[in-house]
Amino acid sequence: MDNLLFFPLLLVMALVTYLIRAVPFVLFRKKISNPRLKAFFDYIPYAVLSSMTFPAILYSTGSVLSAAAGLFVALFLSWRGKSLLVVALATSLTVLGVSLLMTVMQVA
């Protein structure tokens, strides 16, 4: 990803995350007791960050197939409660393995 795209995306992510966290302090003077409103303010930053980074995951490698394989491995291991180090290593090895397999199959 080139810097002309990366830095504006980084700025938007930072602003959205900050604004969503700061808006409740500005708008609401007393403690928020509504559980739905609390959940909204808690989950919005994660949803926005996920929606902005998900497309970059699929186009981060030379092939969408290897990126999708890595994504599925990462989701599965995260769902199983594995540590961040295990998820990152397994995902990287999966992407490497699928990329090498695709290269070998293309040559043969």
Mean pLDDT by 10 residues, the chain (108 residues): 84 87 78 84 85 87 91 95 95 95 82
Domain match, 48 and 71 both: no
Domain match, 48 and 83 both: no
Helix residue spans in 28-83 (DSSP H): 35-58, 64-79
Rama region for 83: left / alpha / beta (φ>0; ψ in -120 to 50; rest): beta
**Domain that residue 94 falls in:** 62-108
Torsions phi, psi for 83 (to 5 deg): -70, 165
Burial grade of 43 (CB within 10 A; 0-12, 13-18, 19 or more): exposed
Domain match, 52 and 82 both: no
Contact 77, 90 (CB under 8 A): yes
Query: Which pTM value belongs to this model?
Result: 0.59
Domain match, 46 and 71 both: no
Domain match, 21 and 41 both: yes
How many domains would you assign to the chain? 2
